[in-house]
Amino acid sequence: MDAVADPHPGDDDVLVKVASTAVSYVDQLLVKGRYQIQPALPFVPGTEFCGVITACGSNAAQRLQVGQWVTGTVFGGAWAEQVCAPWAAVAPLAPSDDVKAACTLPITYATAMYALKRRGDLQAGETVLVLGALGGVGMAAVQVAKAMGARVIAGVSGRVKCSAALRLGADFSVDTSEAGWRAELEAFAKRGVDVVVDPVGGDLTDTAFRTLCWGGRHLVVGFAQGAIPALRANLPLLKGASLIGVDVRQFREREPQAAWKNLSEVVDLFSRGLLKPELSGVYPARAWATAMEAAARRETMGRVVLDWSVAI
């Protein structure tokens, strides 16, 4: 690994000694040059981290303090021994929290919370369809929706994944690779779905939107399938339904106070044992290339984490 200069916190920043970092889908896109924003080179990857605060800027010190363990997010830079982050992008952890699992919270779980609570206005007792339910955001959305009192249908590809989704907390699962998955879903949720969480896109979006009940909300999170779908404008009209965008990066930039509250709510649920990130593997930080390969495999279920404890 090449050495880079030590970061220094600004007034609104904290400096964190990194203990663990998660490999996110955003990381994979960034290192391949396929993300919607192209960072200037040279570029240090890493968007989710967990560690201990070693310095606070003057404004950040009003909310956080040196010695606190936190989880947080940055747009690159987390795969390092130290990282600077704005105070609004980090949240304190409880002393008993698992720091390896906690580093998976700031993007996937914060995205799920932002999507379901603030964009989707999910209410207890409603039914949620989560597409790509064993991916990073999908798995988080299943758990956040359950913690909010919803009934959850997991949309996954393959019967093996259907069983895994039920084991991880979904109430029902459908194999979206099969032609009849909509009919199977509607036999279970007879009045339709209240909220769709869609990080997949492609040809699933149109079918998923059609499962919505009157007043339903379809949350567009991303396009993991690759294709950006087109939706006929008469569908929202006929169902009184909404197509709602979910961009947690812009949410953090435009509404930092609300984003900090959003992440703090996620950490609270995690500390109470209501959110349980699934880890598929923990790798030493220097094995980042192997970790990236593991995270990119479609059969991988759960998050891949880099352990920096040997380097700090």
- Assess whether the region 13-104+277-307 and the region 108-249 belong to the same CATH fold: no
pLDDT reading at 1 higher than 60: no
Q: Answer yes or no: are the C-beta atoms of 122 and 144 closer than 8 Å.
A: no
Q: What pLDDT was estimated at residue 5? A: 78
Other CB atoms within a 10 A radius of the CB of residue 3 amount to 7
Q: What is the CATH T-level fold of the domain 13-104+277-307, as seen in this structure?
A: Quinone Oxidoreductase; Chain A, domain 1 (3.90.180)
Classified by CATH at the fold level, domain 108-249 comes out as Rossmann fold (3.40.50)
Segments making up each domain of the chain, as ranges: 13-104+277-307, 108-249
Predicted pLDDT of residue 305 = 95
pLDDT at 312: 44
| Beta carbons within 8 Å of 209's beta carbon, 6+ residues apart | 196, 218, 231, 235, 239, 241, 243
The pLDDT of residue 289: 87
pLDDT for position 84: 96
Note the pLDDT tens digit of each residue in 163-216. Answer: 999 999 999 999 999 999 999 999 999 999 999 999 999 999 999 999 999 999
What is the rounded average pLDDT of the residues 277-300? 86
Q: Which has more pLDDT, 60 or 77?
A: 60
**Using omega within 30 degrees of 0 as the cis cutoff, is the peptide bond preceding 106 cis?**
no
- Taking the C-alpha atoms of residue 131 and residue 128, their distance in angstroms, rounded to an integer, is 10
Structure-derived torsion over alpha carbons of residues 281, 284, 288, 294, reported in degrees to the nearest 10 = -20
The larger pLDDT score, comparing residue 247 to residue 26, is at 247
- Give tens-digit pLDDT for 108-144: 999 999 999 999 999 999 999 999 999 999 999 999 9
The mean pLDDT value of the chain amounts to: 92
**Number of neighbouring beta carbons within 10 Å of residue 44:** 16
Residues 11-62 pLDDT 10s: 999 999 999 999 987 777 777 776 767 777 777 888 999 999 999 999 999 9
Task: Look at residue 66 and give its three-state secondary structure.
Answer: coil
Distance CA 101, CA 63 (A): 24
